[in-house]
Structure 1
Amino acid sequence: MLPRPQLRRTIGIAALACALLAGLTAPGATASPAVAHIERIVSEGPTQSAAYVYSAAMHKTVKVQILTPASHTTVPTTSPRPTLYMLSGLGEEDPTNSIWLRKTDIVKFFAGKNVNVVLPLAGNGSFYTDWRSDDPVLGRYRWETFLTEELPPLLDERFGGNGSRAIAGLSMGAGSALVLAARHPRFYRAVASYSGCYSATDLTGQVSTRAIVKVFGGDATNMWGPIGDPRWAAHDVIRHAAGLRGTDLYISVGSGLPGRYDAPGYPGNDNPADRTVVGGAIEVGSLACTRRLQSALAAQHIPADFRFVSPGTHSWPYWVDQLHSSWPVISRALSR
């Protein structure tokens, strides 16, 4: 993998170009290896577990981290409850621990809330989609099948899910969350999307998607085929916005202008120039993508809560703020 500054510079250049032109063992777990099943569950903290799930679609075991309500809260931890799936973007350098856990306050934030939070450790550059063929470098990716068919019933049974689902994602995971929701209407009751891009068929979408996959040594042709292949159109949120009708939507993006989180000396901001210049360029690209999505949804009279944040760059402190802001939308949908 490229070092983080180099990776962000590569993506930033692509994003700016795009903007200018317009990502314990489970009891009785004896299932056949040909069927998706939980191999084991390990406690990682008072409210945190890891489920090692065999994916028949991908022929491998995937680690999925799960947050459950704290036992000392007023939340009835033994009652069935809804599930929030959270997709990350790039930079999952640690294959054992979700970047959401390392960069945000989600353990504390969700401890008193009546929801299971699921953090799949997906492969970099996967776009959380089913690839048309195995990639020589990245391997077998069948993330859509895993997330919509294999994983939900297993976790609902083991962790007391009630079948009510929402999904949230940032950056690469933002577009992926909306793609999954559009391709599976009403499967998720709510979607929260932070700083994403949503078209896979225009020049902007082609350039940025291929650049992101290439950063990790993969070939996007193995994902959705060559330019013009109908698989690209099939994963275009703009073209399939109708699939989002009836789903509660929260969509946020920054202006690209630096704010207090980007100032030198702010905790965790070890590279102010990277966050300001590269993070700003990426967010400008996301802003253009988000305005296109806003127009597409408005044209079809599909309601959505859009939040345009200024200042705001492509960086974690802003996404933490937006996660908190989006929770009332997600919570209302899950409680219906």
Structure 2
Amino acid sequence: MRRLAALVGACLATTTLAVTAPAVATADPAGPVALVGDTGARVVSVAMQTDRRAMVSVFSPSMGRDISVQVLLPADRSAPRPSLYMLDGVSAGEETNYTESTWTAKTDAVAFFADKPVNVVLPIGGRGSYYADWQRPDPVLGVNMWETFLTRELPPLIDAQFSGNGVDALMGLSMGAQGAMNLIAKHPSLYTGVAAFSGCYDNRSNETKNAVRTTVGSTGGDATNMWGSNSDPAWADNDPSLRVDALRGKQIYVSSGTGLPGPYEAGGSPLEELTDALLVGGPLEAAANLCTNGFVDTLNRAGVPATVVRKPWGTHSWRYWQDEMRASWPVIARALGV
């Protein structure tokens, strides 16, 4: 565990609620933006970047600020449809100066989902937050109430504005993988499935808690403001490995590589990119692989089925996550009923 925590910490430093319908609704993304939900969350604006890609500004009462959310829309919008929520990694849009999700900046998500009959919802922001509700504001990361935003404030507005049918699933990578697994484990009535890539899902030991602290610290934040001291019950309350029974009956896809060089390190990459992938992404993926294997063992002991992909190679990097986004689609499609 100490070796695992050292790998996770060092590498990451470098790199069920009932939801009521909004009071006002429109299915036209380009139509009036007067949506106000029962939580007080509201759609501030909708800007259609293309006829299939919307940038939505949503006021979050719990965070006291506007949150940007990208939505990718299907070609056929004649009927209500399910929604896939995709969560980012630790930087959460920082690379794009928060102008778009890293998913759309680093992968072919826009093209891949173009023929899928779903809304794809991509929150922008949440750097170092684990998409959790924090106990107190952080001097650097501010107010983080992402669990409340993602489970109570945002879904009814998305469903109303973009003809959602109330069926939701999650996808996440790295920090977002742990966030996604935590959300479905805590809110099983809200989500039908999850795809999680290169994540850790166990907060039981001080070593893994300290690895989370290092991850949050890499963004300038303090995880004590998130879940308190290591003895605080909030760590257990946000530990998916302690809630695996809630995953029974869900569509689950988890994957990881070993950290060894794979096809994307085989040649042709710039030296700086290759060095970063091997010296940072390699050890980090090796740690995520240990985490994933431990979580899969917990699922197996509980008799909870999951689709598990263990690759014999692969680093902690976006080209592998793009592959996993594509490979996990059949599981997510079953979860969404499409």
- What RMSD over aligned residues (CA atoms) do the two structures have, in Å? 2.3
Q: Aligned pair 1:172/2:175, yes or no?
A: yes
Could you tell me how far apart the structure 2 residues matched to 1:216 and 1:28 are?
Answer: 34
> Aligned-pair distance for 1:242?
1.2
Please state how far the C-alpha of 1:46 moved relative to its aligned partner.
Answer: 2.8
Partner of 2:277: 275
CA gap of 1:258–1:161, structure 2 versus 1, over 3 A, is same
1:15 aligns with 2:30: no
Q: Is the 8 A contact 1:181 1:187 kept in 2?
A: yes
1:108 aligns with 2:111: yes
Q: d(CA) in 2 for partners of 1:32 and 1:287?
A: 40
Classify the secondary structure of the residue corresponding to 1:177.
Answer: helix
Structure 1: 5+ residue stretches without partners: 1-11, 71-75
Cα separation, 2, equivalents of 1:25 and 1:203: 49
Q: Residue 127 of structure 1 aligns with which residue?
A: 130
For the residue of structure 2 that corresponds to 1:294, the secondary structure is helix
Deviation per CA, 1:256-295: give whole Å up to 9, x if none.
10112123423x7752111012101000110110111011
Does structure 2 conserve the Cα–Cα contact (< 8 Å) formed by 1:25 and 1:39?
no
The 1:273/1:186 distance shift into structure 2, 3 A limit, reads same
Deviation at 1:185, TM superposition (A): 1.4
Cα displacement string for residues 304-333 of structure 1 (whole angstroms, at most 9, x for unaligned residues)? 010001211101111111111100011012
* Structure 2: gaps of 5 or more residues: 16-28
Kept after mapping to 2: 8 A contact 1:14/1:207: no
3-state SS in 1 of match to 2:67: strand
Which residue matches 1:321? Answer: 323
Aligned sequence identity (%): 44
2:303 maps to 1:310: no
| 8 Å contact from structure 1 (residues 186, 247) kept in 2 | no
Distance verdict in 2 for CA 1:122–1:28, change over 3 Å: closer
- Structure 2 CA distance for partners of 1:34 and 1:192, relative to 1, 3 Å: closer
**2:244 is the alignment partner of 1:241:** yes
Alpha-carbon offset, residue 203 of structure 1: 2.9
Aligned residue for 1:65?
A: 70
Structure 2 distance, partners of 1:292, 1:18, is: 19
Distance (whole Å) between structure 2 residues aligned to residue 209 and residue 127 of structure 1: 9
1:46–1:26 Cα change, 3 Å:
closer
Number of residues of Structure 1 aligned to a counterpart in Structure 2: 317
Q: Calculate the TM-score normalised by the size of structure 2.
A: 0.88
Give the Cα–Cα distance (whole angstroms) in 1 for the partners of residues 168 and 58 of structure 2.
Answer: 19
TM-score (norm 1): 0.89
Counterparts in 2 of 1:114-193, with a 5 A limit? 114-193=117-196
